[in-house]
A and B are shown apart, each in its own frame.
Chain A
């Protein structure tokens, strides 16, 4: 099956610093990737849709200036949490659609990145 990889798998940072999380499609080209955030024991909340070569589309209530998304190539999307604060601590997960599985609509998820802001 298709593989989506995230890096880092966990990160601890100080309040006020910025953190970058990478999401890579390892064996396919992903024109669209999705970023989700998940707080403990809660659901996956869609943050934004990342489109290669264009601006990301953010969901209502998600600050685009705080969560910067860049999809510079067909295999890489990055999420940068700027000026992170403790309330940004969460599990961030990306997903992508694979062209071969377009008919099934299956999403392939990365392993997730756990951010802890001190």
Chain B
């Protein structure tokens, strides 16, 4: 039931791009993306509700392919502050609009100078 994220870890140099994928075996109602720094609570990045939806803020964007039951997070021209663990949180169709999220195992991103 837990969505699967890939890759598990990625190391980048500043300015490089990265893509993090999140796949589910169950039909999705929404996909949430969060970033967590060590020892801190997760911070909301964005939510995608509709199949085919794409969203972005500054150099971080995401897409949601409802048919394939997957979402991708795109980090462009990465900055040192992007380092952390990224989690996708999925809301399934049968629990839609409840706020109940099941998180993937996380992708650790390390951006080096």
Contacts and interface: CB of A to CB of B under 8 A. Distances in A.
Contacts of B98: 32, 49
A111 to B, nearest CB: 5
B92 interface: no
Contacts of A114: 39
A44 interface: yes
A19 interface: no
B103 A44 contact: yes
Nearest to A30: B99
A107 interface: yes
Contact of A34 (B30, B40, B99, B105): B99
Interface residues of A, number: 22
Given A36-B103, A105-B32, A105-B47, 18 more contacts: A32-B98, A42-B105, A42-B106, A43-B106, A44-B87, A44-B89, A46-B101, A46-B102, A49-B100, A93-B41, A93-B42, A105-B97, A105-B99, A107-B101, A109-B41, A111-B40, A111-B41, A112-B39
Interface of A: 32, 34, 36, 42-46, 49, 93, 95, 97, 104-112, 114
